[in-house]
Amino acid sequence: MFSRVLGTTLVQVTRSIAFVLLPISFIAILAWATAGSATGNTGDPLRAALWIWLGAHQIPFNLQLPPANITGYLSYLPLGALVFPILAIRSGIARTIDRLDNDSSLLPLARTLFAVEYTVIAMLFAFFSATSAVKPVWYLIPALTLPLTLVTAATVGRRLIFGQAALYGSRVLSLLLGIASIIFGISIFMHLHMVKVLTLVLQPGILGGFLLLILNILYIPNAVVATLGYFSGAGFAIGKGTIIAPWSFHLHSIPAFPLLGTIPSGKSLISLFGIAIVIFTGALLASWTIALNTKILVQSLVIATIITALIGYLGSGALLTASMSAVGVSPWKFTLTIGAELGLGVLLALYVPRLGRRS
């Protein structure tokens, strides 16, 4: 039984990895061939494809930037790229379940083996693709890739039951991120000229322009998280010692990246109205769950805060140089602010009606 599950999962893990890695390799080779190379070593684009694949899984990199070998760190990676590994893993798990004839007794073992094999291969990719200039942080792979694979696998087939608290907690964050997405979309149209200017500064060319467009699309979720951080009052950073928030604005310079053309140009106290939206969302959480019981309400609020912490961690990081060592939201400020505002909304929803009835 074990050998059957092991063989089936290994085949599907390989297929899931190839599902994402092969198109990336094709694009990397095409870009390498178009740009040219001083060495002519075809291993360079293949190694770059492995780095892109690891980056899509949010694996950070230690860098020695040429020509001065300046130490850098890259952990602010596009959240949108997570879609491709998740789809590939779901496809692989679905095919694994089908190959095992939907035998429910084998599914827990199959999910576990799939996740372990996927993680081990990712660690091997990180180890063998490392160079003196670019080194994937391989020891973080079990902490990042293994949970991602296990959670994704749990959503396929006979799904694991996470409970009503997780349902409502995730629904609250989905609502907030949806509102932030709408606001960010409006901001793009309002700052379209600046976005165009930053694009022209790069002069990417035809192929470069296409790749730049893809990169901007993949970074949109990061921008949405930053937008939520801004309107919740926590703010976000674009570089060390910077803060962009409605109540404070300190910005030295910005990289020539089109999405950054949407950032505000100064303080905007009217944007603090977004805090009321977060508080109102907390009140909605209370209205959804209080009819069930108080325990589910508290659990939903805790789970929403945990998800917020995860989003804050993924929506922050370093971008290559020491001056850009802090990009995105501050994980602890973001979590504390969103959690406190949701909690305030819950308290208002619970106690304001009681005060009204007493009066």
pLDDT tens by residue, 69-128: 778 899 999 999 999 999 999 999 999 988 887 777 788 889 999 999 999 999 999 999
Half-sphere exposure of 115 (CA within 13 A, CB side): 19
What gap in Å lies between CA 62 and CA 110, rounded to an integer? 34
Please give the pLDDT value at position 38: 55
Q: Are 169 and 102 members of one domain? A: no
Is residue 291 predicted with pLDDT exceeding 70?
yes
Into how many domains does the chain fold?
A: 2
Please give the pLDDT value at position 162: 55
93 lies in a domain? yes
Is residue 54 predicted with pLDDT exceeding 90?
yes
Is residue 158 predicted with pLDDT exceeding 80?
no
Kindly list the distances between the CA atom of residue 337 and the CA atoms of 49, 278, 279, 333, in Å, as whole numbers in the listed order: 38, 10, 11, 6
Q: Are 148 and 204 members of one domain? A: no
**How many CB atoms are closer than 10 A to CB 236?**
26
Q: Are 207 and 120 members of one domain? A: no
Q: Which residue has the higher pLDDT, 353 or 289?
A: 289
Q: pTM, whole model, 2 decimals?
A: 0.91
Give the end of a domain, one of 154, 172, 189. Answer: 154
Q: Are 178 and 308 members of one domain? A: yes
Per the prediction, the chain carries an average pLDDT of 88
Q: Are 347 and 205 members of one domain? A: yes
Q: Are 39 and 174 members of one domain? A: no
% of the chain residues with pLDDT over 90 = 54
347 lies in a domain? yes
Is residue 36 predicted with pLDDT exceeding 60?
no
Q: Which range of residues forms the domain containing residue 70?
A: 2-154
Contacts of 97 (CB under 8 A, 6+ apart): 107, 110, 156, 157
And the tokens for 171?
């629904």
Q: Are 172 and 271 members of one domain? A: yes
Return the sign of the alpha-carbon dihedral for residues 22, 28, 31, 33: negative
What gap in Å lies between CA 241 and CA 229, rounded to an integer? 17
159 lies in a domain? no
* Among 327, 321, 211, CA closest to 260: 327
Backbone angles phi, psi at 170, to 5 degrees: -70, -30
Please give the pLDDT value at position 143: 92
And the tokens for 355?
């005060």
Burial 27-60, CB ≥16 within 10 A → b, else e: bbbeebeeeeeeeeeeeebbbbbbbbbbbbbbbb
Q: What are the tens digits of pLDDT across the range 233-289? A: 999 999 888 999 998 899 887 888 888 888 888 888 888 899 999 999 999 999 988
Q: Which residue has the higher pLDDT, 283 or 3?
A: 283
